[in-house]
């Protein structure tokens, strides 16, 4: 329940003015974890990909690749911004890779939390 409330209150407002596509992809990730998700985007459509995570996880890195593993976008090059807007020129599948950084001063206790990937589109 608290994850849904977090998404509703903290994530969905960041998608605006894009319309949420209704698919919530979330995983409980800890420091150093990497997760990948394959998503389909329709040609001629404007999109926003949003990576939403609790602050305790730090600067969560996300990268977007095509299916040939060519890097399209990395938020590491953009001060770890948590979203990216783009137009899909063709209908295509893209891989979103999310990486939670390791905390230098966490000791034996690993921080963890739900990381959500949301997609919005413009009508």
Is 35 within the bounds of a domain? yes
What are the tokens at 94? 């893209």
DSSP-derived 3-state class of residue 8: helix
Could you report the per-residue pLDDT of 40-90, keeping only the tens digit for each?
999 999 999 999 999 999 999 999 999 999 999 999 999 999 999 999 999
> Which CATH number does the domain housing residue 90 bear?
2.60.120.380
Which residues make Cβ contacts (< 8 Å) with residue 93, sequence separation at least 6? 38, 39, 40, 41, 66, 67
- pTM for the model: 0.91
Which domain range does residue 49 map to? Answer: 2-102+114-121
Does residue 66 fall inside a structural domain? yes
């Amino acid at each position: 329940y608290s994850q849904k409330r977090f998404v509703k209150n903290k994530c969905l407002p960041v998608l605006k003015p894009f319309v949420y596509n209704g698919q919530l992809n979330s995983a409980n990730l800890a420091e150093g974890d990497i997760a990948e998700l394959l998503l389909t985007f329709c040609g001629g459509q404007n999109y926003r990909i949003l990576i939403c995570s609790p602050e305790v996880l730090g600067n969560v890195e996300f990268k977007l690749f095509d299916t040939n593993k060519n890097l399209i976008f990395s938020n590491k090059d953009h001060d770890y911004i948590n979203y990216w807007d783009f137009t899909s020129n063709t209908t295509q599948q893209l891989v979103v890779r999310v990486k939670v950084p390791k905390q230098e001063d966490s000791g034996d206790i690993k921080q963890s939390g739900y990381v959500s990937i949301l997609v919005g589109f413009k009508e």
